[in-house]
Structure 1
Amino acid sequence: MGILEGKTLLVTGVLMDSSIAFHVAKLAQEEGAQVVLTSFGRTMRITQTIAKRLPETPPVLELDVTDGEHLDTLADRLREHVDGLDGVLHSIGFAPQGAFNFMEGTWEDVSTALHASAYSLKALAAAALPLMDEQRGGSVVGLTFDAKFAWPVYDWMGVAKAAFESTNRYLARDLGARHVRCNLVAAGPIRTTAAKSIPGFEQFERIWDERAPLGWDVNDPVPAAKACAALLSDWFPATTGEIVHVDGGVHAMGQ
């Protein structure tokens, strides 16, 4: 029996079969879970196409996490496909190009990044909560990029990730009484759609090549996906507010 046998999971952010989110969905199905994906706008067709590469083709619901109507109707729309929800993967991040210049980024750029990449964790968790309540709890897992440092080129997206990590801690505080665990996986750099939008992303690859004691493959999303799957399972029943690093050990190394 798989570690996610009988679970029902909502997975956001599947855009490519090389993404962490895709491999979370794939592992989840292989481990016995029922999966529902989300997408929106012009990317809906892409997600629907990629979904066919999973072991079982899941439904794809429209969800823009910055759209209040999408969030308000999410629970009812999910009920058309599932009876309840045991877990949610937040694999969403967006920042305008201007946000990747720290000194010149405008508030419009920064506020967009914070809304889509940080506040959305709380918004998504709240939207899914009615279905997790019906299961008497669940697990919210998000993907981050270690925000303790000022990374090259990451700039306001790094600030948004710091807010994202803080949001996770407050969610853990407020949802614990409802038996909902909230944790993050801090993955090393992976060549994903989001990575392609970051100018100078290759600098991260050089850092990990030099500093990861276990080594690091920017083309392998599976280690991070396995950590997400484990946190979505019942194998971490007393862990919340945590950040699990899956980065080859870079976070623990000095300069």
Structure 2
Amino acid sequence: MTPDTTGTSGILAGKRILVAGVTMDSSIGFATAKVAQEQGATVLISNFGRALGITRRIAKRLPVEPPVLELDVTDPEHLRRLPDLVREHVDGLDGVVHSIAYGNPETLLGGRFLDGPWEDVAQAVQVSAYSLKSLATACRPLMGAGGSVVGLTFDATVAWPAYDWMGVAKAALESTSRYLARDLGPAGIRCNLVSAGPLRTLAAKAIPGFSDLEEMWGTRAPLGWDNTDQEPTARAVCALLSDFFPATTGEIVHVDGGFHALGA
């Protein structure tokens, strides 16, 4: 077992957390792993394919270098073996972070809604939404005493410029989270989402017209918005992973400077 070398204080002291989908150190997943460690958690991170090598390199930039697991959430074999891989490092999980999304930017984003082919839409929904269920159920045997699942969304209650089919995928993610909250609640497992404002992550760079969203936040968010600062979002994720929200599930917490609260 990997000992908890991150300290005994903090809101996640003693917690064992898997952050799935960490690629670059500019990602929300990386920021979440960092804050979780600072708050006392033992953290594992995951990725797969060609990005796995990048993840292993950037893992060294965290306060404590975490184990890096190979996990493709669309691969049934990867999901089946996940509990065994986790148990090589910790004896269970208290929290799981779903920091995973993908939509082909050449066919699904940037004003291509009416032309998006089903094959690419199906992939976007599987990777971005269905995988929340896949990850949660794969980790369920590791969360015997209950725990918390937290995913990341971008407000899917309205249609955004350029976001197109990814907006549909995020709407599916938000609905999936509510059904997971219903079905995992009796096992003591909470499922919530954090809806962040636009951040300059690797995923955002792939969205044609992303700068239009950034400009809206810069002028309208009541608290202002720094699109290079992932820490406020990471803190919200860690709060939901902690014991400070013991009776909250099926919820979407907005971390967007208050933008969502305004009509115009």
Is 1:244 paired with 2:249? no
In 2, the alpha carbon distance for the partners of 1:131 and 1:120 equals 17
Q: Secondary structure at the match of 2:79?
A: helix
Alignment correspondent of 2:59: 51
SS at match of 2:132: helix
1:86 to 94, 119, 135: 94
1:110 match: 121
Match in the other structure for 2:10 = 2
Poorly superposed stretches of 4+, deviation over 4 Å:
none
1:201 aligns with 2:249: no
C-alpha separation in 2, matches of 1:109 and 1:56: 37
Matched, 1:131 2:142: yes
Local SS of the residue matching 1:254: coil
Give the TM-score of the pair, scaled to structure 1.
Answer: 0.98
Spell out, residue by residue over 1:207-254, the C-alpha distance to the aligned partner (whole angstroms, 9 max, x if none): 101210100000000100000000000000000000000000010001
Cα-Cα RMSD: 0.6
Residue 76 (structure 1) aligns with: 84
| Corresponding position of 2:5 | none
Distance (whole Å) between structure 1 residues aligned to residue 45 and residue 27 of structure 2: 13
Supply the distance in 1 between the matched residues of 2:119 and 2:35 (Cα, whole angstroms): 38
SS in 1 for 2:50: helix
The one-character-per-residue Cα deviations of 1:151-192 (angstroms, maximum 9, x if unpaired) are 000000000000000000000000000000000000000000
Q: How far off its partner does 1:19 sit?
A: 1.3
Say which of 37, 46, 53 aligns to 1:38: 46
**Structure 2 unaligned residues grouped into runs of 5+:** 1-8
Residue in 2 aligned with 1:96?
Answer: 104
Q: Secondary structure at the match of 2:115?
A: coil
Q: Which residue of 2 aligns with 1:166?
A: 175
The letter of the residue matching 2:146 is G
Q: Deviations over 1:2-53 (max 9, x none)?
A: 1000000000121121211111101111111100000100001100011000
Number of the residue aligned with 2:164 = 155
Per the TM alignment, residue 108 of structure 1 is displaced from its structure 2 partner at its CA by 0.6
Task: Tell me the amino acid that sits aligned with residue 95 of structure 1.
Answer: G
Q: Secondary structure at the match of 1:248?
A: coil
Aligned positions of 1:201-220 closer than 5 A? 201-220=210-229
Could you tell me how far apart the structure 1 residues matched to 2:62 and 2:169 are?
31
Amino acid at match of 2:59: A
Which of residues 182, 190, 196 in structure 1 aligns to 2:199? 190
Shift in Å, 1:197: 1.0
- Normalized against structure 2, the TM-score is what? 0.95
